[in-house]
């Protein structure tokens, strides 16, 4: 069990920070709230590109998340900064393209902090959370399904890594 005094910081990253990473941030917050309220983790999201800085998440992902009891309305898009790699314990990419971009942006001493989100849900059989931006509404539901699976795996990982630190 993780200590309540320990606070980790996790950053979810996609390309524009208006679909997948805000969904991951919201879903993981709800996962913590529902399954591990004692765990103190700072959660944020960002994009590898500055296309949408300052904008709220895409209305389609907001509606899909709302149907699952998740409110994304307070989030605003921002771009990843070099400082994020120092501040966040994990910088989690939604897909292999953004993972590669994060590895390029990250100072080499922080490469071990960059992870692929779907690696926390190997049972799903996909390494990428697909970008739903140009697709239909079912794409947003698929993103939320994948993000929910990976969020559960991430929580298990965090609990396990924290218990290893304590011993």
- Phi-psi region at 120: left, alpha or beta (left = phi > 0; alpha = psi -120 to 50): alpha
Q: Is the pLDDT of residue 1 over 90?
A: no
Query: Three-state SS string across 16-84, please?
Result: CCCCHHHHHHHHHHHHHHHHCCCCEEEEEEEECCCCCCCCCCCHHHHHHHHCCCCCCCCCCCCECCHHH
Which class does domain 7-166 fall in?
A: alpha beta
Identify the pLDDT of residue 137: 81
Q: Is the pLDDT of residue 4 over 50?
A: no
Residue pointed to by tokens 């795996």: 153
Q: Using 50, 70 and 90 to split pLDDT, how confident is the model at 160?
A: confident
Q: What percent of the chain has pLDDT over 70?
A: 93
Identify the pLDDT of residue 64: 97
Is 14 catalytic? The answer is: yes
Higher pLDDT, residue 109 or 6:
109
Catalytic residue among 19, 20, 60, 78: 20
Higher pLDDT, residue 160 or 25:
25
Q: Which run of H or of E encompasses 12?
A: strand 7-14
Q: Is the pLDDT of residue 157 over 60?
A: yes
Alpha-carbon gap, residue 8 to 134, rounded angstroms: 34
Is 67 catalytic? The answer is: no
> What residue ranges do the domains of the chain occupy?
7-166
Q: Which two tokens stand for residue 10?
A: 């996790």
Q: Is the pLDDT of residue 3 over 50?
A: no
Alpha-carbon gap, residue 63 to 83, rounded angstroms: 32
**Contact 80/45 with Cβ under 8 angstroms?**
no
Residues 55, 58, 62, 64: what is their CA dihedral angle, to the nearest 10 degrees? -170
Alpha-carbon gap, residue 139 to 120, rounded angstroms: 20
Identify the pLDDT of residue 5: 41
Catalytic residue among 58, 84, 95, 131: 131
**Contact 29/71 with Cβ under 8 angstroms?**
no
């Amino acid at each position: 069990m993780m200590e309540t005094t320990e606070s980790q910081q996790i950053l979810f990253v996609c390309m524009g920070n208006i679909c997948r990473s805000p969904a991951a941030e919201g879903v993981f917050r709800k996962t913590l709230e529902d399954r591990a309220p004692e765990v103190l983790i700072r959660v944020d999201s960002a994009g590898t590109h500055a296309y949408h800085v300052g904008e709220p998440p895409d209305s389609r992902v907001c509606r899909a998340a709302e149907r699952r009891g998740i409110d994304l309305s307070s989030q605003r898009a921002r771009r990843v900064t070099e400082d994020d790699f120092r501040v966040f314990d994990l910088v989690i990419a939604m897909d292999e393209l953004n993972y590669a971009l994060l590895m390029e942006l990250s100072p080499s001493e922080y490469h071990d902090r960059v992870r692929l989100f779907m690696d926390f849900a190997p049972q799903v059989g996909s390494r990428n959370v697909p970008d739903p931006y140009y697709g239909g509404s079912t794409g947003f539901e698929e993103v939320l399904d994948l993000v929910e699976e990976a969020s559960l795996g991430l929580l298990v990982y965090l609990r396990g890594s924290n218990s290893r630190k304590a011993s």
